[in-house]
Amino acid sequence: NDLSRHTYILRRTMLSLLALTSAWAPAPSGAMPILLSAHMSCGTAALSTGKAGLASEQCDKLSMGMRAEESVPIVHRRRSSVSQMMADAKTPPKIIICGAPASGKGTQCELLKEEYGLVHLSTGDMLRAAVKAETEVGMAAKGYMERGELVPDEVIIGIVKDRLAESDCKENGWLLDGFPRTEEQAKALAAAGIEPTKVLYLQVPDEMLIERVVGRRLDPETGKIYHLKFAPPESDEVAARLTQRSDDTEEKARVRLQAFHKHMSAVESCYIGIISYVDGTKPKTEVFAELQKSLE
């Protein structure tokens, strides 16, 4: 009859669950716990029927934890904790953003930092911080900088590796701005165990990049950067004191672009499968929206 069938199914289910849990090996240290929930619909009569039936007091005890109207809400109550566990287990973003000089990397990095709470890092800032902190790699870099020499890749990689190992980068994720610039640097990062989850490439035609560079002006009093066409000064007083940096000429801009293009295709080949290309000619809000889509 139906009661006997229900009793048999219930007994087999309980035995299967017991066998399954007893066969599990102890969880390794640091493993994320997983909640299993079994939902079975069964009346008290089925629990106490036949040779497999339970005593009345056992039925009462068991039914307290197995009634359908109580077990379903348990699942709902656990949903938030499961979501939290998934969030906790998720690897923080590790992003490299690349693009030619004046492609808008700095602007987009600030937006990404604000939106996702990432740690924004540039090699220049990391070099200066390491020298100031007098770390081992920082002191190695200081010698080259004082002699006016380029800091070797192995020293820069050491500084980057040390910085990315700090707790804020591990917990919040990081955004590496404009590095690596060569295939050798990309391979050195990989050899050091530094592998991004995403690479974003802002693409802008050279002529537009040159226009952006040549039109830039610096306010020596505030340090604010303006552009004669795209972000003009707010008053004649400010406009009168603006200066052009020595590097912001067309000749020097073309030299930097030539160096960028010489190495960039090889860098791209190191990140096939995780690199996304974004049109950097659009307004900054539209560029940011495209970057967000690439990160989804």
CATH number of domain containing 163: 3.40.50.300
Instruction: Please count the structural domains in the chain.
Output: 1
Strand partners, 243: 218
Whole domain around residue 99: which residue ranges? 83-295
pLDDT band for position 56 (cuts 50, 70, 90): low
* CA-based nearest residue to 96, from 226, 223, 244, 200: 200
Q: Mean pLDDT throughout 30-51? A: 51
Q: Measured between alpha carbons, how far is 29 from 38 in angstroms, rounded to an integer?
A: 26
On whether residue 58 sits in a domain, the answer given is no
- The reply to whether 173 falls in a domain is yes
Check whether 84 has a pLDDT greater than 50: no
Q: Which of 98-102, 139-143, 268-272, 274-278 has the lowest mean pLDDT?
A: 139-143
Q: In this structure, is residue 69 part of a structural domain?
A: no
Q: What is the pLDDT of residue 57?
A: 56
Assess if residue 231 is contained within a domain.
yes
- Torsion angle, alpha carbons of 22, 24, 29, 30, to 10: -110
What does pLDDT average to over the chain? 81
The verdict on residue 5 lying in a domain is no
Considering the domain boundaries, does residue 3 fall inside one? Answer: no
Q: What is the mean pLDDT of residues 78-95?
A: 58
What gap in Å lies between CA 126 and CA 122, rounded to an integer? 6
Q: What is the pLDDT of residues 237-281, one digit of tens each?
A: 999 999 999 989 999 999 999 999 999 999 999 999 999 999 999
Tell me the average pLDDT across 61-76: 46
Is 217 within a domain?
A: yes
Residue 91: predicted pLDDT:
83
Q: Average of pLDDT values for 216-223? A: 95
Residues in the chain: 296
Helices (H), 37-104: 44-47, 56-66, 68-89
Q: Do the beta carbons of residue 216 and residue 225 sit within 8 Å?
A: yes
The verdict on residue 262 lying in a domain is yes
Active site residues: 105, 181, 216, 245, 256
